[in-house]
Structure 1
Amino acid sequence: MPATPHVRELTTDDLDAAWDLGRLAFGNTSERAASTRIVVPGMTRWGAFDDAGRLVGKAVDLHHDQWWSGQAVSAADVAGVAVAPEARGRGVARALLTALLRGARERGAAVSALYPTVAAPYRACGWETAGVLRTVDLPTAVLPRHRPDPRFAVRAGTVADLPAVAALYERVTRHRNGLLTRRGELFDAPDPALPGDGLTLVEVGGELVAYASWQRGRGYGADSVLTVDEALAVTAEAARELVGVLASWASVAPTLRLCPLDGDAVSTCLPSESAREHERDLWMHRPVDVARAVGARGWPAHVRGFVDFSLADPLAEWNTGTWRLAVADGAAEMVRVAGDADLRLDVRGFALLYTGAASARSVAQAGLLHAAGVAPDALDLLGAGGPAQVLDYF
């Protein structure tokens, strides 16, 4: 191994080696997907090579956009990070992620999210834990059942309904923070297909107001599970109608499995006290370009203020320096200012504040913010708009 691995974008000639490395790292026994053999628009694959030209590490930059208070913010979401066993602990992942961040900034990305198998290496590179994608199990029999409301039409969806489903997803998610827009090349399927085994639609006067996509699973005994990939609604009444349809599966699928969206119309209809956690996937966040991350997102119109702080970002030197954050009239900007500031923030602390995962005082207690004799509360401006959440696993 060289002292510093050679990192570059992968070509089609490297994809077989990348597949083998991923299979080894993640224990993949499934059939190889066609997408792993070709260049995929909306995705940049990075590889680290030793002096002999052997691939010893890989990472993927997914060209996503994330919703932040009504604005789509360009993201470099990271997936498929793998390092050969004999190359681990030698700086391969750090070199890969450094190159990925630089390339992502050059193409215009502002923020980055990822799901870690272990958090420590990503913390060392500036990502910090910002939330959890929760999958919960509910006894189907405890879901509330109501007499069907004659105002609503409930029917099975078809491929022709997918644009309306995408539009409803956007209505629910665009005012939130962190959720994928599901726009762009990675989501432009040439031959769209229904997700899972079924799609249930709730309509009023021909307008879609709720939907659920689901997988039936196997059997109809005590261990049968109905997996709801997504259930969203734009009104409380539509959510109740949708939940009532899901409750009708109780006789053949005693367990309902889903990922709730905190505080939305559907989750507020569910008997959460009966939920049991089935799975939890930790996700992490960091800025790619702090000025872009602040300027591109939406901000609450009622929030106003400014704060000066110094930021340290060892992997992305373009973020390091002293900045002034100014928020007013639903917009914000970060501009460089001269000198040092009393508030000194680590990039991981920036991630916690930006995603609303912690307050400035909590970030200070975690050692990621140092205040030279001043209260740190002004940095809570960075988290205005509420906590971030994700629904997509990548």
Structure 2
Amino acid sequence: MHLRTATPDDVPSLYALWDRAFDAPLMVPVYETDDGRLDRTHVALDPLDGRVVGSVYWTPRELGGPDGDTLRAGGVANVATAPEARGRGLVRALLARAVEQMERDGADVALLFTGTPDVYRSSGFETFDVPLLRGAPRPVDDPDTAVSDPADDALAASAPGPGTEGDAPVQVRTDRLPGVPWPAWSAAFGWEQLAGLHGAFDVVPGGPRPLATRRTAEHWERRIPLWYSGAEVFTARAADGEVVGYLALEPGPGVLKVRELGVDLTAERAGEVVDALARTTLHRARHHDSPVVEVRLPAHALTDRFVAATLDAPVADTDTTGMLRPVRAGSDAVDRLRDTAAAGVGFHWPGDYV
């Protein structure tokens, strides 16, 4: 087998390999948001016909470190081997090339997510645990008052009159449902509003949240709409239309997953915002007839409040799909990252998967 980085001529057979290997319709669109992708895509070529029969791709990320610092990470994805080429150590060889390139690029750690962790252990990766909770949704008796995709003036018209804005209840608006083509971000639903809330929620005393990606404008503009395309997105709004919280829910067979929650932790009405988004979660669980709601969020008092409002008799579980390995950082730094994740403080959001 011939191993090298990918070229434009490899793209047709590379995509054909991924089509055979994965049931993941977002894989290619997400990959194509990375303008430097080919230079970081390592491929194995069949010596007879030049087809791509193995691949490993990685992309740089800035992550919160274990001590309030920032680490440079290489996010690994799109790992595939054609059935006829398996058993030859291609994944291990391609990962070794990728890690060497990460080291030259200044990466401290490598990060990936997988349902087959044993494939990666021989390449130095070890899993980390992320706590989550599952339970039946609590009963909800009040009517669903969420506003569905209103025009800008409709939102203003529904607001209370002058002098009542501070006492008016938070209103939840439906901004995105699965299957609806994602338009450009708008003034009424702009990424900057969500980014501010995400940044305010994604901190811990002393610095950024360990393991969390430091999202850039490009991530919000290009990648987040793709990850949210299969999710329901809701915003909590004050009477003047200001976005004061948001929620991403992913409906699936038998379970409604809470994928993202964003609230300004320091805001005076943060608890009220969380309560409003929890009620929306219960209404959507009833709409989808979901017997289970899964909450996978970082540890915080507001997360506890959200869980208490949504789950009846929650059961603790663990997500073990994440894996880390040191590159330029010492193994102690990776161990401390893994410890923060197990404690629910370190966290990597599904919207930041590579």
TM-score by length of 2: 0.69
Q: What does residue range 33-52 of structure 1 map to in structure 2 within 5 Å?
A: 33=28, 40-41=34-35, 43=37, 44-52=40-48
Q: Summarize the Cα distance change of 1:225–1:207 in structure 2 as closer, same or farther, 3 Å threshold.
A: same
Map of 1:90 onto structure 2: 88
Q: Secondary structure at the match of 2:10?
A: helix
TM superposition shift of 1:24: 1.9
Q: 2:261 aligns with which of 220, 228, 231?
A: 231
TM superposition shift of 1:289: 1.0
Map of 1:389 onto structure 2: 347
Q: 2:324 aligns with which of 278, 282, 285?
A: 285
- Is the 2:250–2:259 contact (alpha carbons within 8 Å) kept by the matching residues of 1? yes
Q: Summarize the Cα distance change of 1:206–1:266 in structure 2 as closer, same or farther, 3 Å threshold.
A: farther
Q: Summarize the Cα distance change of 1:247–1:19 in structure 2 as closer, same or farther, 3 Å threshold.
A: same
Q: Summarize the Cα distance change of 1:164–1:358 in structure 2 as closer, same or farther, 3 Å threshold.
A: closer
Letter in 2 for 1:154: Q
CA distance, structure 2, for counterparts of residue 358 and residue 226 of structure 1: 23
- Is the 1:202–1:241 contact (alpha carbons within 8 Å) kept by the matching residues of 2? no
Q: 1:210 aligns with which of 221, 228, 245?
A: 245
The reply to whether residue 260 of structure 1 matches residue 322 of structure 2 is no
TM superposition shift of 1:208: 4.0
Letter in 1 for 2:108: A
Q: What does residue range 128-167 of structure 1 map to in structure 2 within 5 Å?
A: 128-132=126-130, 134=132, 136=134, 138-141=136-139, 150=167, 152-156=169-173, 157=175, 159-160=186-187, 161-167=190-196
Q: Secondary structure at the match of 2:305?
A: helix
Q: 1:8 aligns with which of 4, 7, 13?
A: 4
- Is the 1:22–1:82 contact (alpha carbons within 8 Å) kept by the matching residues of 2? yes
Q: Summarize the Cα distance change of 1:165–1:152 in structure 2 as closer, same or farther, 3 Å threshold.
A: farther
Q: Summarize the Cα distance change of 1:67–1:34 in structure 2 as closer, same or farther, 3 Å threshold.
A: closer
Map of 1:116 onto structure 2: 114
CA distance, structure 1, for counterparts of residue 141 and residue 68 of structure 2: 32
Q: Summarize the Cα distance change of 1:286–1:152 in structure 2 as closer, same or farther, 3 Å threshold.
A: farther
- Is the 1:111–1:288 contact (alpha carbons within 8 Å) kept by the matching residues of 2? yes
Q: Summarize the Cα distance change of 1:76–1:216 in structure 2 as closer, same or farther, 3 Å threshold.
A: closer
Q: Secondary structure at the match of 1:104?
A: helix
CA distance, structure 2, for counterparts of residue 261 and residue 31 of structure 1: 23
Map of 2:212 onto structure 1: 179
Q: Secondary structure at the match of 2:199?
A: helix
Q: Summarize the Cα distance change of 1:142–1:70 in structure 2 as closer, same or farther, 3 Å threshold.
A: farther
- Is the 2:248–2:259 contact (alpha carbons within 8 Å) kept by the matching residues of 1? yes
Q: Summarize the Cα distance change of 1:142–1:127 in structure 2 as closer, same or farther, 3 Å threshold.
A: farther
TM superposition shift of 1:159: 3.5
Map of 1:63 onto structure 2: 60
CA distance, structure 2, for counterparts of residue 270 and residue 244 of structure 1: 11
User: Which is richer in helix?
Assistant: 2
- Is the 1:144–1:247 contact (alpha carbons within 8 Å) kept by the matching residues of 2? no
Count of residue correspondences: 301
CA distance, structure 2, for counterparts of residue 23 and residue 278 of structure 1: 32
CA distance, structure 1, for counterparts of residue 245 and residue 27 of structure 2: 35
- Is the 1:42–1:63 contact (alpha carbons within 8 Å) kept by the matching residues of 2? no
- Is the 1:59–1:97 contact (alpha carbons within 8 Å) kept by the matching residues of 2? yes
TM superposition shift of 1:118: 1.7
Q: Secondary structure at the match of 2:211?
A: strand
- Is the 1:139–1:274 contact (alpha carbons within 8 Å) kept by the matching residues of 2? no
Q: Summarize the Cα distance change of 1:153–1:269 in structure 2 as closer, same or farther, 3 Å threshold.
A: closer
- Structure 1, 238-247 or 277-286: larger mean CA deviation: 277-286
- Is the 1:74–1:109 contact (alpha carbons within 8 Å) kept by the matching residues of 2? yes
Q: What value does the CA root-mean-square deviation take over the aligned residues?
A: 4.0
Map of 1:341 onto structure 2: none
TM superposition shift of 1:123: 1.0
TM superposition shift of 1:96: 0.5
CA distance, structure 2, for counterparts of residue 290 and residue 107 of structure 1: 13
- Is the 2:63–2:70 contact (alpha carbons within 8 Å) kept by the matching residues of 1? yes
Letter in 2 for 1:241: A
Map of 1:77 onto structure 2: 75
TM superposition shift of 1:95: 1.0
Map of 1:269 onto structure 2: 306
Larger-Rg structure: 1
CA distance, structure 2, for counterparts of residue 144 and residue 60 of structure 1: 48
Letter in 2 for 1:182: R
Identity of aligned residues (%): 24
Q: 2:125 aligns with which of 119, 124, 127?
A: 127
CA distance, structure 2, for counterparts of residue 245 and residue 197 of structure 1: 11
TM superposition shift of 1:139: 1.7
- Is the 1:128–1:284 contact (alpha carbons within 8 Å) kept by the matching residues of 2? yes
